[in-house]
């Protein structure tokens, strides 16, 4: 898939009367009737749905600002990016707008395939099997984008045809409607996608089934819904099907799970495909998160795991070093030419000059950070593009979905399969399961946080908690004391943790229920004021 030409076919006119998120510039003009002549042409176009170029506006920055800063895992305080850490963002935050428009951009590409491809392909004699498979891929990706949209923004506009909606007065649709729409897309995808694909990285039956299990789990977490128990059952059954029948397994080595070598491994159910081809084509985490000494381009000196996240890892947890760097950690795959890289919170030369300064977390990010081009055989470019994929869904997530579905609205589970898959995740981390043969809800949330930290999804776990019990979720977030950081209390010990003191005097960052749902971007409200109106159901019944 990495060599397939990018053809992003959103041939939409720019109309000043429509909402900004419906306006998508075409990246390649081509006559559709002349293109869809074979199954290969369809697959060439659906391949574009997975690319970082399609997901760039969402995944370049917003994904980690919302997913990791909001969840209390990532410390960063600069300007509008830091507003997600402080929970002080407003409707005019530029990155909020990028995230919203970026997800609708993905949806528009999927819609174009869904609405234009079948008739044109049939006219050219392409088989119905090929058409159905292309539709299933597009609907799977559309569902993934809508899942992110509704978990961040709640009630959002369902757009099935961008061209038809150009002149419409848009309203937001209820979250329940969006869930139903996602379920329909994923059910179609699950039914019509193959169990395996000759091109690793494409969505399969198991991708759609795994994502659908997580969607049902999210729906079930609304405990006031009379169908909550039914949805927990569906989530449990679908996740069990993936676990028992897919033949997929966890990647054995967590230390390389986020490197290029692990791209499209058996644990990767759905991922943004990244390549080194210039700005917008590759994974920008390496640039955004790396410390200066670890990459050719690095903006990560001021970022790091929050103090609270650092406290979550047990002694002996093999994941910790590959999530974030702490004093004395050694990385043989970074700065290979110099024999590897040993992390120190500060680096001082013989004259006492700081070559690398400590940040306020006394730690820096490691996950998705893979060094320089020479460290990974050219897998890092000079335009914020690295070749390691960005996960949207991992098998380990489906394992944990099964566990959470077994707990359901209760407090613990002793289900044998839940115990088994929970143990698989912990065993890879070098840890053993608890001896009491049960998994509590609190233990599950803790384990998910450690496993998926800095992957942009932990805020969704907190949202499910919020649906179950708003007070519990707010207490969980506010109990993190995310405002805490270190200051240098002994300038003679710049390179030792002993020289730093945790500052307990900072103003509290308090999260409220209103902040659990992001505001519709101000630019969208200006272009389409009706988006501020109460949400309406998308379905008649």
Rounded CA separation 231/246 (Å) = 22
CATH topology of domain 20-247: 1.25.40
Q: What is the rounded CA–CA span in Å between residue 318 and residue 104?
A: 37
What integer is the mean pLDDT of 57-68? 98
Q: Is the pLDDT of residue 232 over 70?
A: yes
Q: Which runs of consecutive H residues, i.e. helices, occur in 300-435?
A: 307-310, 320-323, 395-407, 416-428
Determine the angle formed by the axes of helices 205-220 and 395-407, rounding to 10 degrees: 30
Please give the DSSP secondary-structure letter assigned to residue 6: P
Look at residue 77 and tell me whether its pLDDT is greater than 90: yes
Structure-token pair, residue 135: 């539709």
Instruction: Please give the pLDDT value at position 31.
Output: 56
pLDDT at 4 over 50: no
Q: Of 64, 50, 57, 61, which Cα lies nearest the Cα of 458?
A: 64
Average pLDDT over residues 6-29: 40
d(Cα 205, Cα 292) in Å, to the nearest integer? 41
Write the burial class of residue 448 (CB in 10 Å: 0-12 exposed, 13-18 middle, 19+ buried): buried
Give the rounded distance of the alpha carbon of 121 from its chain centre: 33
Question: Strand, coil or helix: what is 486?
Answer: strand
At residue 243 the predicted structure's pLDDT band, cuts being 50, 70 and 90, is very high
Please compute the mean of the pLDDT values over residues 1-16 and round it to a whole number.
36
Q: Per-residue confidence at 13, pLDDT binned at 50, 70, 90?
A: very low
pTM more than 0.75: yes
Neighbouring residues of 339: CB distance < 8 A, sequence distance ≥ 6: none
Q: Quick check: 534 pLDDT over 50?
A: yes
| CA atoms of 186 and 207, how far apart (whole Å) | 9
Angle, helices 128-153 vs 94-123, to 10°: value is 160
CB 258 within 8 A of CB 334: no
User: By the 8 A CB rule, do 230 and 163 touch?
Assistant: no
Q: What is the pLDDT of residues 459-487, one digit of tens each?
A: 999 999 999 999 999 999 999 999 999 99
Can you tell me whether residue 70 is helix, strand or coil? coil
Q: Among the listed ranges 16-30, 115-129, 318-332, which one has the minimum average pLDDT value?
A: 16-30
- Separation between Cα atoms, residue 158 and residue 181, nearest integer Å: 8
Average pLDDT, the chain: 93
- In Å, how far from its chain's centre is CA 327? 28
Residues forming a β-bridge with 485: 503
Dist CA 70 CA 229 (whole Å): 29
- Rounded mean pLDDT of 232-258? 98
What distance in Å separates the CA atoms of residue 363 and residue 373, rounded to the nearest whole number? Answer: 23
Residue 167: pLDDT band with limits 50, 70, 90 = confident
Residue 15 pLDDT > 90, yes or no?
no
Give the tens place of pLDDT for each residue, 175-221.
999 999 999 999 999 999 999 999 999 999 999 999 999 999 999 99
Calculate what percentage of the chain has a pLDDT beyond 90.
Answer: 88
Mean of the pLDDT values across residues 364-374? 97
> Can you tell me which residue has the tokens 């509008």?
80
Q: How confident is the model at residue 350 (pLDDT cuts 50, 70, 90)?
A: confident
The answer on pLDDT for 113 being more than 60 is yes
DSSP tag of 106 = H
| Contacts of the segment 4-8: beta carbons below 8 A, 24+ positions apart | 4/43, 4/44, 4/47, 4/48, 5/44, 6/48, 6/51, 6/53, 7/35, 7/44, 7/45, 7/48, 8/48, 8/53, 8/54, 8/109
Reported as a single tens digit per residue, the pLDDT across 252-263 is 999 999 999 999
Q: What is the pLDDT of residue 351?
A: 82
Domain(s) labelled CATH 1.25.40.390 in the chain stretch across 20-247
Q: Report the pLDDT averaged over residues 343-348.
A: 93
Q: According to the model, what pLDDT value does residue 14 have? A: 24
Mean pLDDT of 281-305: 96
Higher pLDDT, 237 or 353: 237
Yes or no: say if 344 and 331 are a contact pair by the CB < 8 Å rule.
no
Q: Which single residue is written with the structure tokens 């519990």?
A: 472
17 or 27: which leads in pLDDT: 27
Average pLDDT for 18-40:
62
Determine contact, residues 166/13, Cβ cutoff 8 Å: yes
Q: Nearest to residue 365, comparing CAs of 429, 415, 292?
A: 292
Q: Are 263 and 52 in contact (CB under 8 A)?
A: no
241: Cβ–Cβ under 8 A, 6 or more apart, which residues?
Answer: 209
pLDDT band, very low/low/confident/very high, at 19 (cuts 50, 70, 90): low
């Amino acid at each position: 898939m990495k060599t397939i030409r990018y053809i992003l076919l959103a041939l939409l006119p720019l109309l000043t009367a429509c909402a900004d998120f419906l306006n998508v510039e075409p990246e390649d003009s081509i006559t559709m009737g002349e293109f869809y002549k074979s199954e290969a042409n369809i697959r060439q176009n659906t391949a574009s749905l997975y690319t970082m170029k399609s997901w760039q506006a969402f995944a370049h920055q917003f994904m980690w600002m919302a997913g990791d800063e909001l969840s209390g895992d990532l410390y960063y305080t600069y300007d509008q990016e830091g507003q997600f850490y402080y929970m002080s963002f407003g409707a005019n935050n530029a990155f909020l707008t990028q995230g919203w428009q970026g997800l609708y951009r993905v949806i528009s590409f999927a819609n174009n395939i869904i609405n234009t491809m079948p008739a044109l392909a049939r006219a050219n004699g392409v088989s119905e099997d090929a058409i159905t498979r292309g539709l299933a891929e597009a609907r799977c990706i559309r569902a993934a984008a809508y899942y992110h949209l509704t978990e961040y923004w709640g009630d959002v506009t369902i757009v099935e045809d961008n061209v038809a909606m150009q002149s419409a007065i848009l309203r937001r649709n209820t979250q329940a409607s969006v869930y139903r729409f996602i379920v329909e897309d994923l059910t179609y995808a699950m039914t019509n996608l193959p169990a395996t694909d000759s091109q690793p990285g494409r969505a399969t039956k198991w991708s759609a089934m795994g994502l659908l299990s997580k969607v049902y789990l999210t729906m079930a977490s609304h405990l006031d819904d009379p169908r909550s128990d039914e949805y927990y059952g569906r989530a449990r059954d679908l996740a069990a099907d993936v676990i028992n029948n897919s033949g997929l397994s966890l990647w054995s080595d967590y230390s390389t799970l986020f490197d290029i070598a692990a791209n499209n491994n058996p644990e990767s159910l759905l991922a943004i495909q990244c390549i080194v081809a210039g700005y917008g084509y590759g994974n920008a985490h390496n640039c955004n998160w790396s410390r200066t000494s670890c990459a050719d381009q690095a903006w990560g000196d001021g970022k790091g795991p929050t103090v609270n996240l650092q406290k979550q890892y047990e002694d002996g947890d093999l994941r910790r070093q590959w999530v974030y760097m702490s004093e004395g950690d050694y990385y043989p795959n970074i700065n290979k030419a110099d024999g590897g890289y040993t992390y120190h919170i500060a680096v001082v030369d013989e004259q006492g000059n700081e070559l690398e300064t400590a940040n306020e977390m006394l730690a820096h990010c490691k996950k998705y950070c893979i060094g320089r081009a020479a460290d990974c055989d050219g897998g890092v470019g000079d335009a914020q593009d690295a070749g390691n994929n960005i996960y949207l869904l991992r098998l380990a997530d489906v394992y944990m979905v099964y566990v959470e579905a077994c707990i359901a609205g209760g407090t613990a589970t002793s289900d044998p399969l839940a115990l088994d898959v929970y143990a698989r995740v912990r065993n890879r981390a070098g840890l053993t399961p608890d001896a009491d043969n049960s998994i509590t809800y609190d233990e599950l949330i803790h384990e998910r946080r450690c496993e998926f930290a800095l992957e942009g999804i932990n805020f969704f776990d907190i949202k499910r908690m919020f649906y179950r019990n708003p007070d519990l979720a707010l207490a969980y977030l506010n109990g993190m004391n995310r405002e805490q950081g270190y200051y240098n209390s002994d300038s003679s010990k710049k390179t030792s943790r002993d020289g730093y003191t945790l500052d307990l005097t900072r103003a509290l960052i308090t999260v409220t229920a209103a902040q659990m749902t992001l505001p519709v971007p101000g630019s969208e409200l200006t272009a389409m004021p009706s988006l501020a109106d109460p949400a309406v159901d998308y379905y008649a019944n």
